[in-house]
Amino acid sequence: MRILQVIPFFSPQMGGSAQVAYQISRRLGQRGHDVTVVASDYATGESRFEDGPFEVILFPNLIARWGFYVTPGLVRWAREHVSVFDVVHMHTTRTFQNAVVRHFAVRYGVPYVLSAHGTLPVIVERKLAKRIYDLLAGRSLLASASRLLAVSSLEAEQYGRAAGGEDGRVQVIHNGLDLDQFSPLPPRGSLRQKLGIAPEAPVVLFLGRLHRIKGIDLLVEAFAQLRQEVKETILVIAGPDEGELDHLRALAGRLGLEESVRFAGPLYGQDKLAAYVDADVIASPGAYEIFGLVPFEALMCGTPAVVGEGSAAGQLMRQAGAGTLVTDGDVATLADSLRRALIDRAATAAQVAAGQAFVRRELDWDAIAGHLEDLYAGVGVHCA
């Protein structure tokens, strides 16, 4: 089967949606399908994915503003090539790439599925730009999709709201993890050495985009309370800055935490795994998290997780019995949950074991690739 993956960017540093598109393309290519990825060349100078059994076509990015990546070269390519594909899989919603490819997919009668990756709601920033896009292209993008792919029940509900009611095209398929990356794990100590953290100091880790929807400011406030009881604890905040770094530095300063909060910057590959290994607990307190693989990656590295109960990751953690859930926005409960995770090692060991079993059973990319083949077959394509 010929499969086209469409995403605005294709670089490891761009986070979850790019990682998902890479893993889907890699696994489907390994299963014998002819997979092509089209994207802008944004951020590929800084980091690139390893080559895989699929073709990647990167178009020069002329504008990268407001999260919008304009690649005029895609227009001619799509006009000439979209018709040869059996199915198109588009990633995220409000993109130049989706508008272009959707136009030609409809013209040529090529079915497409859409993975929103949490981008459906009009929230946080660029609200006017999002509404304008929806008026010009976004509503048509949703309306003519053969399937709407959700990574969680939370996102499935968002599709329903966008469609004005329950939508039978919605199908839930979780994001997955590449389990091979966790064997072997890096030895403990490399991140601590890099950041000057003592081997015996308890470490709380946040890893992800430094964005205000992630609840990192609440974590810093909770950490200030935690330090009153577990005085040697260090908070490591790792990830690319998306507008919050200066605010978080200032907050740590106001709370007298300059020496105990370390900003590690973006971490990828083995450096990311080393951070999980060196942490004693990871915290993902954000209420708006449509899926979130960080807690599950941490569990596979043997590190317990404290997660916001309103997030999709929190829902899966509850299902797996694999982590401590905290009420969204409750700083005191977050601080107490982190304290208990650092002290009650027997309870966290049981959670880690349950979480690892859940990941192997439910989040293996090889199994998910099979689900995607079934999804494509459901839009009238017979898998090879």
Tell me what pLDDT residue 164 has. Answer: 64
Q: Tell me if 383 is assigned to some domain.
A: no
pLDDT at 166 over 80: no
Same domain for 68 and 171: yes
**Residues 199, 172 share a domain:** no
Q: Do 156 and 241 share a domain, yes or no?
A: no
pLDDT higher than 50, residue 188: yes
Asked if residues 277 and 207 have their Cβ atoms less than 8 Å apart, the reply is no
The CA distances from residue 229 to 65, 94, 305, in Å, are 44, 46, 20
Q: What average pLDDT does range 106-119 have in this prediction? A: 92
Instruction: Tell me: pLDDT of 381 over 60.
Output: no
Question: Is 382 domain-assigned?
Answer: no
CA separation for the pair 3, 20 (Å, rounded): 15
Q: What is the pLDDT of residue 54?
A: 97
Which parts of the chain fold into alpha helices (H)? 16-30, 73-81, 96-108, 127-133, 139-143, 153-163, 190-195, 216-227, 245-254, 269-278, 294-300, 312-320, 331-343, 345-362, 365-377
Q: Is 126 helix (H, G, I), strand (E, B) or coil?
A: coil
Q: What is the mean pLDDT of residues 190-212?
A: 94
Q: Per the structure block, which two tokens stand in for 87? A: 């199915």
Do 112 and 244 reside in the same domain of the chain?
A: no
Cα gap 161→167, rounded to integer Å: 9
- First vs last C-alpha separation in the chain: 6
158 shares its domain with 259: no
Give the mean model confidence (pLDDT) for residues 17-36.
94
Q: Which two tokens stand for residue 382?
A: 């017979």
Asked whether residue 184 falls in the same domain as residue 163, the answer is no
Whether 74 and 169 map to the same domain: the answer is yes
CA distances from 275 to 24, 208, 287 (A): 25, 12, 23
Q: Is residue 308 domain-resident?
A: yes
Q: Tell me if 196 is assigned to some domain.
A: yes
- pLDDT tens digits along 256-294: 999 999 999 999 889 999 999 999 999 999 866 667 789
pLDDT for residue 382:
47
- Does residue 281 lie within any of the structural domains? yes
Are 45 and 191 within one domain? no
In the predicted model, what is the mean pLDDT of residues 368-380?
87
Report CA torsion sign: 238, 315, 230, 340. negative
- Whether residues 212 and 259 share a domain: the answer is yes
| 319 vs 39, more confident | 39
Question: What percent of the chain is helix, strand and coil (3-state, nearest 5)?
Answer: 45, 20, 35
Comparing CA positions, the residue from 122, 165, 127, 169 lying closest to residue 148 is: 169
Closest by Cα among 266, 353, 265 to 303: 353
Q: What percent of the chain shows pLDDT beyond 70?
A: 95
At 82-109, the pLDDT tens digits run 999 999 999 998 899 999 999 999 999 9
Q: Classify residue 302: in a domain, yes or no.
A: yes
Q: How many structural domains are present in the chain?
A: 2
Residue 334 lies in a domain: yes
Q: Which residues pair with 234 in a beta bridge?
A: 203
- For residue 364, list its beta bridge partners: 177
Same domain, 149 and 115: yes
What is the domain-level CATH number for residue 323? 3.40.50.2000
Looking at the structure, tell me whether residues 301 and 152 fall in a common domain: no
Using CA atoms, how far residue 284 sits from 56, 226, 314, in Å, is 32, 16, 9
Burial class from Cβ neighbours inside 10 Å (0-12, 13-18, 19+) for residue 34 reads middle
Question: Across residues 198-224, what is the average pLDDT?
Answer: 94
Query: What are the beta bridge partners of residue 59?
Result: 40
Q: Which two tokens stand for residue 312?
A: 């999709």
123 and 266 assigned to the same domain: no
DSSP state of 230: S
pLDDT tens digit sequence for 302-354: 999 999 887 878 888 888 888 888 988 899 999 999 999 999 989 999 999 99
- Asked, for residue 76, whether it belongs to a domain, the answer is yes
Instruction: State which residues form the domain around 213.
Output: 180-362
More confident residue, 47 or 296: 296
